């Protein structure tokens, strides 16, 4: 399985998902840099993402929505703070519930590192503004949703291997 660890730290207000892939650093980076790859894994399988804007540069914005099995949509965006290809991204993250209610803004830190030749680790750390925001996200299934989303990546990387 791709996901090797999920950690919740109420003191630091974080939820972190670590995953490893049999792929190069650059190929894992493309999962974020290419909006078509991003929308194939961002969001759990029952809530696929559609990326409507993708400006992955400092000061840029990535906009998307996820569509649920009943057609319900959840809007989201990332204001891009830091981009250091192919190793690091820092985003200000915000999304809304299906009724349009906005959720508190979080910070997402993505770190990508080569751990062995042809093997890359990606860490996605979400930092919440309060313990209440962290607890609300966990109650809504964010931990399992992120685990499911990241677990889709191996199939994308395997397919890309066949095309090269």
Q: Where along the chain do its domains lie?
A: 3-163
pLDDT tens digits for 63-79? 999 999 999 888 999 99
Does the pLDDT value for residue 164 go beyond 80?
no
Residues 6+ apart with CB under 8 A from 30: 37, 160
For residue 139, how many other CB atoms are within 10 A of its CB?
A: 9
- CA dist 83 and 111 (Å) reads 10
**pLDDT attached to residue 103:** 77
pLDDT tens digits for 89-102? 999 999 876 676 77
- CA dist 20 and 18 (Å) reads 7
pLDDT tens digits for 7-52? 999 999 999 999 999 999 999 999 999 999 999 999 999 999 999 9
**pLDDT attached to residue 162:** 44
pTM: 0.92
**Cα dihedral value 8, 104, 57, 159, nearest 10:** 50
The stretch 108-134 carries a mean pLDDT of 96
Pick the CATH number of 3-163 from 3.40.50.720, 3.30.530.20, 3.40.50.300, 3.40.50.10890: 3.30.530.20
**pLDDT attached to residue 14:** 98
- CA-nearest of 118, 115, 137 to 126 is 137
Q: Which two tokens stand for residue 156?
A: 């994308």
Q: In angstroms, what CA-CA distances link 159 with 25, 50, 76, 94?
A: 16, 20, 27, 31
- Residue 128: band (very low, low, confident or very high) from pLDDT cuts 50, 70, 90: very high
Cis preceding-peptide flag for 86 (omega within 30 of 0) = yes
Contact status, residue 154 vs residue 21, Cβ threshold 8 Å: yes
The stretch 111-127 carries a mean pLDDT of 96
| E strands in the chain | 3-9, 14-21, 49-54, 61-67, 73-84, 88-95, 106-116, 119-127
**pLDDT attached to residue 95:** 86
């Amino acid at each position: 399985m791709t996901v090797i660890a999920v950690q919740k730290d109420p003191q630091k207000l974080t939820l972190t998902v670590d995953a490893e892939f049999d792929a190069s650093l650059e190929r894992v980076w493309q999962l974020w840099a290419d909006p078509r790859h991003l929308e194939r894994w961002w969001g759990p399988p029952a809530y696929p993402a559609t990326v409507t804007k993708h400006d992955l540069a400092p000061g840029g914005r990535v906009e998307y929505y996820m569509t649920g099995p009943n057609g319900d949509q959840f809007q989201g965006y990332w204001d891009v703070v830091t981009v250091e290809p192919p190793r690091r991204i820092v985003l200000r993250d915000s999304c809304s519930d299906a009724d349009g209610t906005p959720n508190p803004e979080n910070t997402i830190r993505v770190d990508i590192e080569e751990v062995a030749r042809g093997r890359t680790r990606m860490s996605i750390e979400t930092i919440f503004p309060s313990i209440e925001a962290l607890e609300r996200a966990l109650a809504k299934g964010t931990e399992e949703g992120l685990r499911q989303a990241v677990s889709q990546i191996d199939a994308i990387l395997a397919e890309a291997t066949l095309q090269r």
